Amino acid sequence: MRNAAKIWAIFRKDLLVELRTKSAVNSMLFFGVVTLLVLNFAFRSLEGSLRPALPGVLWAAFSFAGALGLNRMFAAEKENSCLQGLLMTPADRGVLYLGKMLAGSVFMLAAEAVISAFGMIFFNVTVWREIPWLALTFLVGTLGFMAVGTLLAAVAVNTKLREVLLPLLLFPVILPVLVNAVEATGIILDGGDYGGLKLPLSVMAAFTLVFGVVSCLLFEYVLDD
Amino acid sequence: MIKVRGLAKYYGRFTALRALDLDIGAGECVALFGRNGAGKTTLLRILAGLSRPSSGSFQIKFPGSASGKGAASPRGSRGRIGYLSHNTSLYPDLTALENLRFFAGLMDAPADEESLARRMEAVGLAGREREPVRNFSRGMQQRLAIARAFLHDPELLLLDEPFTGLDRLGFDVLGNYIRRARGAGKTCLVALHDLDLGYALADRLVVIEKGVAALDAPKASLTPAGFEERFRKIMEGGHA
């Protein structure tokens, strides 16, 4: 089987398991929507439009939900020592990384679609025309998040404190993606100059590429004990 | 085929292996014994490439490699090693067939439905292909794990307490598989607690105690009673 087929096999397996258990996406959705709701109530006491707060609120909800999803995804690999079975195959570790990273990205994007719909309702924002730009920003931001998150979740999964350790490791590293994602989402929701998206999207894409390649190479070493 | 020199593994302050030396020839079947925590699993995990040694070295040399030398790194060996432990490494939410198809694909083994059905039949699970593994009993899961571990017809079998949880049928399936593998000249390293079973299966007996090989003897040099006696002495802290 070629590497592309192996990446697809891992991606498809994660998707099948998730479709049957719905454990990652359900917990991501629940956590993300509750975060939105709490922040929405908190900001209501402020005067003026809530619209400027929405990009930050959305990405806070996405990133908390994403960290939760990553933990769930790797916890499933620990059940019955499935990860050990994966590691005993001759598949390149980069292949395992890419399969899991793509599956995690799809789960997170699915959760983001629902969370952002709730966000628009809670914050009373209409965005029909901006949807393609928002989708692009969410896609690039999510790939950046998962490029690092998949590697760090693999580091955390072999520790006793994995649920606590992952956010502690992940959020400081992912900060450049989050800051630029918030900025890009803000530009889109302001309906202003889309030319301004070039810089944040480029930074996120470069981050994804660099950390994706580094993580792909390091994945072999973080999975051993 | 396997050369282990001064192998040590530490988990914090706990010493799992301490300067272990071991040589295993091609086609040999070696039974590893020892109390819980003696280092059997650690040794098998290191040889399987699942864990890195803290110090020391090991080499796995597969016969008939293209280079003529045949020494393979843990990375290069993976496709030629079958590792089976009491953990099944099966996805409980996938069906038996989906599990086998997934692992066969990653192992570059035949993944067509017919050959996978044959694998299922060989472990006594014919007709259960489309059931989720979660619905299987512990013994059935272990039988499916046997089919999974040997999908790629490995040259080296690393078996860590593989009989755990097996019913009579599973016991026979695995026992026959090991005997057939031995007949085909494959190398086998199996960690066990059952002295009689290990004696019956292997042609060399190794007892690991406190991270080193306290006994390493060909089966032919020991009677079952003699082996049991020496094993007991080692466990009691005496000399073998």
Which residues are paired to B205 by β-bridges? B31, B217
Of B91, B98, B136, B142, which to mutate for an interface test with A (greatest number of A Cβ within 10 Å)?
B91
* Facing A13 at nearest CB: one of B85, B88, B102: B102
Q: What is the pLDDT of residue B239?
A: 53
> What tokens were used for A109?
């994007």
Q: What is the pLDDT of residue B99?
A: 96
How far apart are the C-alpha atoms of B145 and B90, rounded to whole Å?
7
A79 pLDDT more than 90: no
pTM over the 0.80 mark: yes
- Please indicate whether residue B103 or residue B62 has the higher confidence score (pLDDT): B103
For A96, the closest chain B residue by CA position comes to B106
For chain A, domain boundaries: 3-223
Which residues are paired to B10 by β-bridges? B15
B69 pLDDT more than 80: no
Average of pLDDT values for B206-213? 92
**Taking CB atoms and an 8 Å cutoff, what residues of chain B touch A16?**
93-94, 98
pLDDT in tens, A193-202: 889 999 999 9
Buried/exposed code over B16-25 (b: 16+ C-beta within 10 A; e: otherwise): bbbebebebe
pLDDT grade for B238, boundaries at 50, 70 and 90: low
Residue B130 DSSP symbol: T
Domains assigned to chain B: 2-235 (3.40.50.300)
pLDDT in tens, A141-166: 999 999 999 999 999 988 888 888 99
The answer to whether the complex's ipTM is over 0.95 is no
CB contact under 8 A, A81 and B85: yes
* Residue A28 · residue A69 · CB < 8 Å: yes
pLDDT, chain A, mean: 92
Surface-to-core class of residue A121, CB atoms within 10 Å of its CB (0-12 exposed, 13-18 middle, 19+ buried): exposed
How far apart are the C-alpha atoms of B211 and B37, rounded to whole Å?
9
* Facing A84 at nearest CB: one of B87, B91, B107: B87
pLDDT grade for B71, boundaries at 50, 70 and 90: low
pLDDT in tens, B90-124: 999 999 999 999 999 999 999 999 999 999 999 99
**Taking CB atoms and an 8 Å cutoff, what residues of chain B touch A21?**
93
A192 pLDDT more than 80: no
pLDDT grade for B68, boundaries at 50, 70 and 90: very low
Q: What is the pLDDT of residue A191?
A: 81
Q: Which residues contact B103 (CB under 8 A, 6 or more apart)?
A: A85, A89, B109, B148, B151
B85 pLDDT more than 80: yes
* Residue B155 · residue B60 · CB < 8 Å: no
* Biggest CA pair distance of chain B: 54
Contacts 24+ apart (CB under 8 A), A39-44: A40/A122, A40/A123
